[in-house]
Structure 1
Amino acid sequence: MKQITATGTTVDEAVQSALEQLQTSKDQVQVDVIDEGKKGFLGFGSKPAIVKVSIQKNPVQDAELFIIEVAKQMGAPVQVKTEVKDRDIAMQLEGDKIAMLIGKRGQTLNSLQYLTQLAVNRESDQFYNVMLDAEGYRARRKETLENLAKRLAEKAISSGKEVKLEPMPSYERKIIHSALQNHKKVVTDSDGNDPRRHVVIRPS
Structure 2
Amino acid sequence: MRDLQVTGKTIEEAVDKALSELNAKKEDVDIQILEEPTKGFLGIIGGKLAKVRVILKDTPKDIANKFLTEILESMSIEGKINITQEEDILKIDLNGEDTGILIGRRGETLDSLQLLTNLAVNKSSEKHIKVLLDIENYRQRREESLIRYANKMARQAVKTRKDIKLEPMNPYERRIVHSALQNDRFIRTISEGEEPNRRVVISVKR
Q: TM-score, normalised by structure 2?
A: 0.72
Question: C-alpha deviations, 1:140-181, integer Å up to 9, x for none?
Answer: 11111101111222344325225243131x332221121111
Q: Distance in 1 between matches of 2:130 and 2:196?
A: 18
- My pick for the range that moved more, 190-199 or 131-140, is 190-199
Paired residue secondary structure (1:118): helix
State whether residues 153 and 164 of structure 2, in contact with CA within 8 Å, keep that contact through their aligned partners in structure 1.
no
Alignment of 1:77-156 (within 5 A): 77-156=78-157
Question: C-alpha deviations, 1:41-95, integer Å up to 9, x for none?
Answer: 8249x9x979896753411111111111112222323210112211121111122
Task: Name the counterpart of 2:203.
Answer: 202
State whether residues 163 and 201 of structure 2, in contact with CA within 8 Å, keep that contact through their aligned partners in structure 1.
no
Listed as ranges, the gaps of 5+ residues in structure 2 are: 1-6
Task: Name the counterpart of 1:177.
Answer: 178
The alpha-carbon distance between structure 1 residues 118 and 190, as it changes in their structure 2 partners (threshold 3 A), is: farther
1:161 to 141, 160, 163: 163
Deviation at 1:12, TM superposition (A): 4.7
Q: Distance in 2 between matches of 1:192 and 1:82?
A: 36
The alpha-carbon distance between structure 1 residues 178 and 69, as it changes in their structure 2 partners (threshold 3 A), is: same
Paired residue secondary structure (1:183): coil
Listed as ranges, the gaps of 5+ residues in structure 1 are: 1-6
Q: Distance in 1 between matches of 2:128 and 2:197?
A: 24
1:135 is aligned with what amino acid? Answer: E
The alpha-carbon distance between structure 1 residues 201 and 49, as it changes in their structure 2 partners (threshold 3 A), is: farther
The alpha-carbon distance between structure 1 residues 161 and 72, as it changes in their structure 2 partners (threshold 3 A), is: same
Computed over aligned residues only, the root mean square deviation of the Cα atoms, in angstroms, reads 3.8
The alpha-carbon distance between structure 1 residues 113 and 12, as it changes in their structure 2 partners (threshold 3 A), is: same
State whether residues 189 and 201 of structure 2, in contact with CA within 8 Å, keep that contact through their aligned partners in structure 1.
yes
Q: Distance in 2 between matches of 1:192 and 1:64?
A: 37
The alpha-carbon distance between structure 1 residues 66 and 190, as it changes in their structure 2 partners (threshold 3 A), is: farther
Aligned residues: 190
State whether residues 71 and 101 of structure 1, in contact with CA within 8 Å, keep that contact through their aligned partners in structure 2.
no
The alpha-carbon distance between structure 1 residues 42 and 197, as it changes in their structure 2 partners (threshold 3 A), is: farther
State whether residues 168 and 196 of structure 2, in contact with CA within 8 Å, keep that contact through their aligned partners in structure 1.
no
Q: Distance in 2 between matches of 1:71 and 1:126?
A: 27
Percent of residue pairs identical: 39
1:166 is aligned with what amino acid? Answer: P
1:129 is aligned with what amino acid? Answer: K
State whether residues 162 and 203 of structure 1, in contact with CA within 8 Å, keep that contact through their aligned partners in structure 2.
no
